[in-house]
Amino acid sequence: MADFHKNLINLNMALDTALKNGVDLGKKVDTDKAIYDYKVKKQGYYVQAVQNALKFIKGASIELPQLNKYDSRNSEMVSEILEMMPELESKDISHLKKITQRMISLTEQINFPKEEIENIFPAPSIVPEDVKSEVKADILEVNKCFNAGCLRSTVILCGRLLETALHRKYFETTGNDILEKSPGIGLGNLIAKLKDKGVLLDPALTNQVHLINQIRIFSVHKKKEAFYPSKEQTHAIVLYTLDILEKLFK
């Protein structure tokens, strides 16, 4: 239930980044043009970050009424938040920012169960039993690294999460464990193999993998130029990774 507050913080950060970069949420991104136009691609990335944050907020809002049972004093704040939820459909970033900040203010007045207010990024709602412990452990580390400002480590952990999810999807699709035959297979090659098997993947996944590999390669080859992601970039990468996990684990 405290996930709602965490996701509001994520949305607020995504909106700040979108505002700073002049993003228009009402303008459809030309995916064909984004292939060769970096500015268009970047705009699409910021739009996706906002959309992903909104998706997680809507999912987490379902459990808000349960907070009234935990503490009856939560009722007033919960009611106002739920009444404001339809306004999150707005394409006006300034209005979204105003609504988000009001919701954050209200959630900070809510009495959450103590043990729930620790992680910024929530685990996917559905995780296969055979990889559940691994995924949850990695997401716990993602939260620790992000909170501590260890942004490169956070991104590398996103790579681990994607590997786990994509390997699991390959096994689910083919019945074969690709790690047995190709233990060192890279994310790019794994994505290509899944596409060959007819698995539909988000077109932006390759760009995500490229960013992650920039950090991984530097960790092995010291002569490579280091890539230091900003907090906003790292935040967006984590949200996108969690969205991919949600889709793959359905």
pLDDT tens readout for residues 173-204: 888 777 666 666 777 787 788 878 777 777 77
Count of structural domains within the chain? 2
User: Which one has a higher pLDDT value, 166 or 117?
Assistant: 166
Domain final residue pick, 67, 86, 116: 116
pLDDT tens readout for residues 2-49: 568 878 888 888 888 888 888 887 777 555 554 555 565 667 778 888
Q: What residues make up the domain containing 141?
A: 129-248
| Amino acid residing at 46 | Y
d(CA 81, CA 65): 10
**Same-domain check for residues 108 and 134:** no
d(CA 80, CA 5): 14
pLDDT tens readout for residues 43-65: 777 888 888 889 888 888 887 88
User: What average pLDDT does the segment 155-164 reach?
Assistant: 89
**Same-domain check for residues 137 and 101:** no
Q: 208, 237 in Cβ contact below 8 A? A: yes
| 121 falls within a domain | no
CATH number at residue 226: 1.20.120
d(CA 159, CA 93): 30
Write the DSSP symbol of residue 110: S
d(CA 57, CA 59): 5
Please count the CA atoms within 13 angstroms of the CA of 191 that sit on its side-chain side.
Answer: 16
Residue with tokens 């035959």: 181
| 122 falls within a domain | no
For 33-48, b where at least 16 C-beta lie within 10 A, e where not — what string?
A: ebeeeeebbebbbbbb
**Same-domain check for residues 173 and 216:** yes
Domain final residue pick, 94, 116, 138: 116
**Same-domain check for residues 192 and 237:** yes
- Work out the pLDDT band at 223, boundaries 50, 70, 90: very low
Q: What percent of the chain has pLDDT over 90?
A: 14
- Does the reported pTM lie above 0.75? no
